[in-house]
Amino acid sequence: MGRLFGTDGVRGRANVDLTPELALAVAVAAAHTLAEVDRSHPPLAVVGRDPRASGEMLEAAVVAGLASAGANVVRVGVLPTPGVAYLVGETKADLGVMLSASHNPMPDNGIKLFAAGGHKLPDEIELKIEAAIEANAAAAWNRPTGAGVGRVHDLLDGADHYVQHLVGSVSHRLDGLKVVVDCANGAASDIAPVAYREAGAEVIAIHAEPDGLNINDECGSTHLDVVRAAVVEHGAHLGIAHDGDADRCLAVTADGEEVDGDQIMAILALAMRDAGTLTDDTLVATVMSNLGLRLAMSKAGIRLLETKVGDRYVLEELRASGLALGGEQSGHVVMPAHATTGDGVLTGLHLMARMAETGKSLAELSSVVTKLPQVLINVPVGDRSAGAAAPAVLAAAEQAEAQLGGTGRVLLRPSGTEPLVRVMVEARTVETAREVAERIAQTVREASPVPV
C-alpha cells in the first residue's frame, strides 16, 4: 500500500477511492493507534462532517468502526472542521474524526483525524495508522463483545458551545460593520452568520443553503466573484468567503478587491504585536507566501519563520516554538490561543475586530502588504524529484535569483502527489516573473522529459 494520508488526511472520490470499507478501516486503526483501549474506561471519539451527501454514508462507516474497536462515539453532526477540533478538546476526547474534502468538489470527500486536545497528526502517527490498517487486513482485530462494544450518542448543543467560544475570543464588538459572508453551501452555513451577528455585525449571508450537492459549487473561497459583487451591491464594509469545511477565510474590500491569507496574516500580526500577544514578535508562514509579506513584516520589526507547504507544518512550528500566529496564503490562519487548527470563522471575527478597533477600512489595513506579482508554472516531468534537483535546474534557479536580487525570488517544488515540478517566481513586474519562470520551466522539461 502506498501513502494513504496526503497533506490533510485521507481524500478521494467518495465511494470510489474513499469507500465505506476504507473509512471503517481507518476508524478502527485510528482508535487502536490514538487511544489505549481500557475496558473500564473506553476511549471517546468525536465525529463531525460537512454537509456533502456522501458524508452521511461515510459517517455511518466511521462510527461503526470506532464502536467496533471499543470506542464510545459522540456525533456532532454538520460542523466546521475547527469546530470538531475544538469539541475534541472540550470533551476531553481521545480522538476526533472530521469527514470533509474541504474546498474540493462535492463528489470528493475526506477523513481528517485529530488526536487528544484537537491537534492534527504528525507524519509518524499517520504512518502508524497506515501500518495498523495493513495489519488489520492481514489478521482481524481482537474485537470487544458485549459491554465492550462502544456506544454512540449525539451532542445536540455542540454548535452552540463552539459559537460562544468564537465570539468570546474577540475583545472588540463589531457593531456598525456590514459584512457579506459566503458560506460555500458548506459547514459554516449556520455557524458563520450566527457568530458574526452575535459579535455585533450586520450580516448578509450568501450560499448558506446546503442541500448535500451544492457545496463549493461556484462559490466560497475558491470563487470570489459572487461575494465581490454582493459586497458592492449591498454597500458592505467587506466580504468574507469560507470553504466547504470553514477552515479557510479570504476577504474582499468594500470595492471588491481580494484580500488573501498573506494580507490577513499581516493585519492580525500587527494587531497582536500592538496588543502584546504576538509571541517573540514572530509570524509563521509557508514558503509559498508572497515576498511582499516578508518585506512588510521586516519593515514592522516582525520576524517571519518559513515552513513547508501545508497548514500542518505551520501548526507543528507554532507548537514547537510556542508561537501565537501562523498560516498560509490560501487563507488557513492559526491562532493557537483560540484554536488548535486553522479556523476561518475565528479569522473573520478577528479581522473585523481589527477594523472596529482602528476604525480603518479593510483596504487601508491590507495595504501594509504590497504583493509582488507571482507566476506559478506546473511542469509535467518524468521524475519529479530529479526534475527539481537536476544540476542544470538548480543552476538556472541560482542565476535567476541573482538576476532578481532582493526584489524577487524563485521557488522550485516537486508535487507531493503528481508528476509535476512547480516553478514559482516573484518579481517587481509580472512580465519579469513570467519570463524568468518560463526560462526555468524549460530547463526543468529538458532535465526530466515526460516519457513518450
CATH number at residue 86: 3.40.120.10
Q: Is residue 313 part of a domain?
A: yes
Asked if pLDDT for residue 52 goes beyond 90, the answer is yes
The answer to whether residues 208 and 355 belong to one domain is yes
Which domain CATH number covers 416? 3.30.310.50
Residue 355: what are its φ and ψ, rounded to 5°? -65, -45
* 245 in a known ligand binding site: yes
What is the pLDDT, as a whole number, of residue 310?
82
Q: Give a yes or no: residue 100 inside a domain.
A: yes
Residue 3 forms part of a structural domain: no
190 is in an annotated binding site: no
The residue that leads in pLDDT, 37 or 208, is 208
> What's the pLDDT at 29?
94
pTM for the predicted model, two decimal places: 0.91
In this structure, the answer to whether residues 100 and 191 fall within a common structural domain is: no
At which of 128, 156, 184 does a domain end? 156
Cell reading at 286: 509557508
Number of domains in the chain: 3
pLDDT at residue 416 in the model: 67
pLDDT for the residue 234? 98
**Residues 425 and 347 placed together within one structural domain of the fold:** no
Q: What are phi and psi of 206, to 5 degrees?
A: -125, 155
User: Does pLDDT of 123 surpass 70?
Assistant: yes
Whether residues 201 and 347 fall in one domain: yes
The answer to whether 230 touches 215, Cβ cutoff 8 Å, is no
The pLDDT score that the predictor gives to residue 2 is 60
Going by pLDDT thresholds of 50, 70 and 90, the confidence category of residue 137 is low
Domain boundary among 156, 179, 197: 156
Q: Is 157 annotated as a binding residue?
A: no
Q: Hey, which residues are catalytic here?
A: 102
Q: Is 347 exposed, middle or buried (0-12, 13-18, 19+ CB in 10 A)?
A: buried
317 and 192 share one domain: yes
Cα(60)–Cα(78) distance, integer angstroms: 14
The pLDDT score that the predictor gives to residue 373 is 92
Does 247 show up as a binding residue in the annotation?
Answer: yes
**If you count them, how many residues does the chain have?**
452
117 and 14 in one domain? yes
Q: Give me the pLDDT at residue 450, please.
A: 87
Question: Is 452 part of a structural domain of the chain?
Answer: no
195 plus 47 within the same structural domain: no
- Our measurement of the distance from residue 280's CA atom to the centroid of its chain's CA atoms, rounded to an integer in Å, reads 24
Question: Is pLDDT above 60 for 302?
Answer: yes
Q: What's residue 1's pLDDT?
A: 52
Running DSSP on this structure, what letter comes out for residue 146? G
pLDDT at residue 142, rounded to an integer: 77
Q: Please identify, among 366, 386, 411, the residue that sits at the C-terminal boundary of a domain.
A: 366
**Residue bearing the bigger pLDDT, 207 or 121:** 207
Q: Is 386 found in the same domain as 361?
A: no
The predicted pLDDT at position 51 comes to: 98
Examine the domain organization and report whether 107 and 226 are in the same domain.
no
List of residues 6+ apart from 32 with CB closer than 8 A: 69, 132, 141
Which tens digit of pLDDT belongs to each residue from 86-100?
Answer: 999 999 999 999 999
Of 206, 205, 208, 186, nearest to 83 by C-alpha is 186
Whether residues 274 and 222 fall in one domain = yes
pLDDT band, residue 332 (cuts 50/70/90)? very high
Per the prediction, the chain carries an average pLDDT of: 93
133 within a domain of the structure (yes/no): yes
Arithmetic mean of pLDDT, 152-157:
96
| Residues 23 and 138 grouped into a single domain | yes
User: According to the model, what pLDDT value does residue 162 have?
Assistant: 98
Answer yes or no: is 183 within a domain. Answer: yes
Its domain, for residue 431, covers 374-447
- Assess if residue 344 is contained within a domain: yes
pLDDT band at residue 415 using 50, 70 and 90 as cut-offs? confident
At residue 41, the pLDDT reads 76
Alpha helices in 96-240 (DSSP H): 123-138, 158-168, 188-198, 225-234
Query: Of 117, 42, 50, 43, which is closest to residue 87 (Cα–Cα)?
Result: 117
131 and 186 in a single domain? The answer is no
Would 4 be classed as within a structural domain?
no
